[in-house]
Structure 1
């Protein structure tokens, strides 16, 4: 970061006020104080702001004692924090950040009061995660001074900040908030005020496709989660992440986005998750969700195939796919190498034939190719580093053919999880839907390509931005998988983004 990057930021000495002293408000106050700003913290609940500041100071002392920040920096930040007992005390603030309850009326009422109190040059920002900035600002006399500044929890640790421009937000206000977040050591991305902004919109397929696979009996939650982690490279599987977030919260966000997009089938909520919410099985906070929690709770293990005997005939490998290269480097038996095939066959192990999923079921692919012994393998972020691979077999596939393929994969160091024959499997369909949603957001002017990728990496710790991932596996692959899923299900849910279609037709990538 250099001076040019933050030329429009608020001066470090500019007073900042934060309204709402809950987890988010307190975190924002801490970050602003560490950046050098005098910070006032207000809460309508008596004593809440004072307690929050005491907790912040204690936390800063702990960071200093652990050597995470210099002691003098912690003390200086503590000294910059003070309680605002009334809204009137905030009249000199240059920036007021609202972090109160997620209710439109409450936010509109608050900003209406602030507009009469603060200077005309004071910036107003909402930390809302779901409400329309345009709608919040609609009742103001000067809606152009309001924009969104959406931090992620825990605020001091999470780098991402979504800067949200409403329809009437002034461009200089948005730029100032962007540069101020950057000066505070955050990674700001800019989005227009549409449902879910960037992260909550683009993350929907991560949960939705896992729930869809579960609903079709493709695999158990522990197996799906293991594949997303050990093959897909995601930090947490979809089901353990939903349990952590809380199903009431996650389901409510999905419903909100679904209804805000006028019931677009791409965001359809899951009946399985609705059942959990109605049963009060909300995840970690209730002691049970998809998994059980507590001292005596057993940790469910993913389904893993037993060891099979290697085929006695030479292994045949085709082309230069990353998985082929890994098998070529690790397999200890006899191998014959061949060039790529038009049908994208990767390997013949005895009678078994291995392909990477292209969005069809293995059974459908077997039928289309008039080839009985088809086994499909799922996508991996990096086959050389993956420890587990998902596989599925055609209904026409004989046991010995499938076992020969699995034995080769096992001999190359992979744990193998066999799934039911669900089209697109787990990682492939998830990644393609994430890329598709990101492409649509870019195509609709919600955000830039780079901000879409940055938001998902910094906001929810994805191993790779969804658009960069699409570039890596090929735009053709992504569009073809989506079209196969659409053909199988006959649903608009899997329609291909116009931007993806354009890139496929032009032979271009998202980032080049």
Structure 2
């Protein structure tokens, strides 16, 4: 097993911005002497004072012993020039996201540091292979991608370029682990793991908005309260900044030769053109200016509790509805299901979405009063559920379906009749993208799930989530989405297909 760099090794961090300072703090707390360098006069010294204050706060809260905090503070040293880094064992750059700048920096460092010094670029989107192409010894370079804020976020992507020595990647993996992080190996492809696999979370939400499925606040609420995501996609894009988020989407889209899976959104481009960058500018999808209030999610008003409720089959949704109605002392009958319905009440027939619109499903089945409900991370604990009705559905049947869901203690958001609703289509696309990353050798299935849980705080890894929903269901949803839109965007990953044909789960 490859060993981590010993704590006697000196670590250099170039770039004293938020990311560089965070990485420096992590390394100093882990016991290394850390040299911090920035080309802005006084920036490194200012960053060190800020880091030391943060370390003191951790000690005050009991998260670090006084002795360890004092050592960590003393480990930090501001340096003035590259030549001061001659004795370092690892140089981590966290400078501007520009290929030429990174190549120039490491090319200059090659004439300063020793042969065994490792180069760890913190790039989030630039090819590690391309950065290394300018070096005499590209085998010493690998991606060491932390997530912001580095002291808090657990994930580190260890990214190998075409020339990266596997021993270098292994050393960085072991070192990040010794620093208390969860490291995952990835191949240098556009977006690595997180920035690639996460694209559908934004892309599908933007499509829902473009197609008039619902407003931003409603989609965000559904993704949080049914999907279990910590932030809704529009809240998250506003927090990241549309200049950053749109640029990453365009970068991945361009790098994959305009693959429609990563197609940027004109809606987001409009925000960017207007200078509405999100929280940083005071306006984005939401208004953050003083006095502005955030709009509420669209929630159906109260309906009468219907009678004659029948719950059908033993799916997760049906079982959860039974549990919730029992707790609310609402009477219901049970029946088997032959067509996948989960409930029927006063003429309404409820199904979990399978990627078709409710109107198409009504036409295909010959049932007029079709009501579709969205996926939930856990139907038993969700507080909100999205639903939609077929164009053929009567108002009375729609009201009965809404009343049933409300009787089960759910807030109901009615979306326009778009294929796949919100949570289901997003989870299916996230799982499909993660499966393709594994299929193409970018990472393992375990790494893909860990990266998405720890790098962007998803409630469940996309592949584990697909296993829980059922790979045949995910395949059906994607197939129907592809048929509905007639786009290659929803093409199935061969890995997902193979596991369905074999009757296996991804992790099984």
Q: Give the TM-score category using the shorter length.
A: over 0.9
Is 1:340 the counterpart of 2:334 in the alignment?
A: no
Once residues 212 and 439 of structure 1 are traced to their aligned partners in structure 2, the CA distance between those partners, rounded to angstroms, is: 22
The match for 2:199 is 204
Is 1:110 the counterpart of 2:105 in the alignment?
A: yes
1:352-363 aligned at under 5 Å gives the runs: 352-363=348-359
Is 1:461 the counterpart of 2:457 in the alignment?
A: yes
The match for 1:488 is 484
The match for 1:319 is 313
The match for 2:386 is 390
1:255-404 aligned at under 5 Å gives the runs: 255-312=250-307, 314-331=308-325, 332-341=329-338, 343-404=339-400
The range that moved more, 68-77 or 255-264, is 68-77
Once residues 419 and 257 of structure 1 are traced to their aligned partners in structure 2, the CA distance between those partners, rounded to angstroms, is: 30
- 3-state SS of the aligned residue for 1:392? strand
- Cα deviation code 1:452-498 (max 9, x no counterpart): 00000000000000000000000000000000000000000000000
Is 1:17 the counterpart of 2:1 in the alignment?
A: no
- Post-superposition shift, 1:310? 2.6
Contact 2:226–2:385 (CA under 8 A) maintained in structure 1:
yes
Runs ≥4 residues deviating over 3 A: none
1:69-468 aligned at under 5 Å gives the runs: 69-312=64-307, 314-331=308-325, 332-341=329-338, 343-468=339-464
The range that moved more, 21-30 or 467-476, is 21-30
Once residues 126 and 164 of structure 1 are traced to their aligned partners in structure 2, the CA distance between those partners, rounded to angstroms, is: 9
Q: CA RMSD in A?
A: 0.9
Residue ranges of structure 1 left out of the alignment (5+ in a row): none
Change (3 A) 1:85 1:305: same
- Post-superposition shift, 1:361? 0.2
- 3-state SS of the aligned residue for 2:406? helix
The match for 1:498 is 494
Once residues 272 and 378 of structure 1 are traced to their aligned partners in structure 2, the CA distance between those partners, rounded to angstroms, is: 24
- Post-superposition shift, 1:268? 0.2
Once residues 466 and 276 of structure 1 are traced to their aligned partners in structure 2, the CA distance between those partners, rounded to angstroms, is: 29
TM-score for the superposition, normalised by structure 2:
0.98
The range that moved more, 207-216 or 302-311, is 302-311
The match for 1:477 is 473
Once residues 92 and 334 of structure 1 are traced to their aligned partners in structure 2, the CA distance between those partners, rounded to angstroms, is: 75
Once residues 330 and 212 of structure 1 are traced to their aligned partners in structure 2, the CA distance between those partners, rounded to angstroms, is: 32
